[in-house]
Amino acid sequence: MANQTHDKRAARTKMLIRDALTELMEEKGFEGVTVRNLTEKAQINRGTFYLHYRDKYDLLEQSEEEILKEIEDKARGINPKDALHSTSQDEPFPVILKLFEYFQENARFMRVVLGPKGDASFQVKLKELIKQQFLQNIASKLNVEDMLVPAEYFIAFVSSAQLGLIQHWLETGMKKPPKEMALIAAKMILLGPGHVAGIK
């Protein structure tokens, strides 16, 4: 139960368990996964699981928290001034680009946890993170006074759209590179869906 990160065995076991989680979630979804399943797939004793995690929910939470932390760290590495600034027509917003890059690196787990068999609470947390990033990087450019709609709905709209774009991209096999996806996102946000699609 202690902090056993300084033992090769513990690190290996945790990795085996997390890999098993990804595989099993792909098969049955998180609901369908049992601790038995996990330990059989990971080829470890069932008791060993409880040395590291309280239950399967604890395992999922820890995995998700780590991901959220890593994304936050990535975003922190960008100067807020540059975050939503494109140097040229072909350069997307750095924050959004970083986001797509991170998801590509961790595609297997992200795809399943954000998919239909995944975890609704994680989607909410991730959307919240995207909201915060948007607010931090866009606050100065926003003129809350004369917006055409209340800010809260604007931000809910944009962050959901951004997450939905990522989900669709993951679900369809990431056929376009992160840079291209980031450009698509930027166009949609700045120019607007209606204009982008040539409606009216």
- Minimum CB–partner distance for residue 1 and its own copies (Å): 24
- Per CB under 7 A, 154 contacts DNA: no
Measuring CA to CA, how many Å separate 73 from each of 4, 78, 98? 24, 9, 11
* CB within 8 Å of 58: residues ≥ 6 apart: none
Measuring CA to CA, how many Å separate 170 from each of 21, 111, 133, 134, 152? 18, 6, 21, 21, 27
Residues binding DNA: number (CB under 7 A): 24
Binding-site ranges for its own copies (CB under 8 A): 29, 31, 57, 115-121, 123-125, 127, 138, 141-143, 146-154, 156-161, 163-165, 167-169, 172, 181, 184-185, 187-200
Q: Which of 28, 36, 168, 195 binds DNA (CB under 7 A)?
A: 36
Contact call for residues 91 and 82 (beta carbons, < 8 A):
no
Q: How far apart are CA 19 and CA 25, in angstroms?
A: 10
- Per CB under 7 A, 51 contacts DNA: yes
- Minimum CB–partner distance for residue 59 and DNA (Å): 10
- Per CB under 7 A, 41 contacts DNA: no
* Stretch binding DNA (CB under 7 A), from 44-52, 127-135, 156-164, 191-199: 44-52
- Minimum CB–partner distance for residue 124 and DNA (Å): 23
Q: How far apart are CA 167 and CA 170, in angstroms?
A: 5
Q: How far apart are CA 197 and CA 188, in angstroms?
A: 9
Q: How far apart are CA 72 and CA 78, in angstroms?
A: 10
Question: Of these partners, DNA, its own copies, none, which one is at the site of residue 90 (CB under 5 to 8 Å by kind)?
Answer: none
Question: Of these partners, its own copies, DNA, none, which one is at the site of residue 54 (CB under 5 to 8 Å by kind)?
Answer: DNA
